[in-house]
């Protein structure tokens, strides 16, 4: 799979909840859905966070690696 060019990604293009999730990932450097969920101030459902992380991965802001039965999400950018 070809590497995606992340140089033109702007966090300004994201919604408030997406930016909050990205902030959690930057703070933790990598996190599972459950870890992101527990770090949010007024979290939506588990499936909503999982869906947003999948969408952020499709947009190129996040990548994942397998971590046992779950996936650890990692931000592709280096700063918030």
Residue 4 has pLDDT above 90, yes or no: no
Q: Which residue has the higher pLDDT, 9 or 45?
A: 45
Alpha carbon distance 53, 58 (integer Å)? 9
Q: What is the pLDDT of residues 43-77, one digit of tens each?
A: 999 999 999 999 999 999 999 999 788 899 999 97
What's this model's pTM, rounded to 2 decimal places? 0.83
pLDDT of residue 1 exceeding 50, the answer is: no
- Domains of the chain plus CATH, in order, are 16-75 (1.10.10.10)
Whose tokens are 């592709």? That residue is 76
pLDDT in tens, 30-45: 999 999 999 999 999 9
CA dihedral 44, 46, 48, 51 (to 10 degrees): 150
């Amino acid at each position: 799979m070809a590497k995606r060019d992340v140089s033109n990604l702007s966090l300004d293009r994201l919604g408030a909840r997406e930016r909050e999730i990205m902030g959690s990932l930057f703070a933790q450097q990598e996190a599972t859905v459950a870890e992101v969920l527990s770090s949010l101030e007024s979290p939506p459902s588990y499936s909503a966070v999982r869906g947003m992380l999948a969408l952020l991965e499709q947009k190129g802001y996040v990548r994942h690696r397998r971590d046992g039965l779950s996936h650890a999400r990692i931000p592709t950018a280096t700063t918030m």
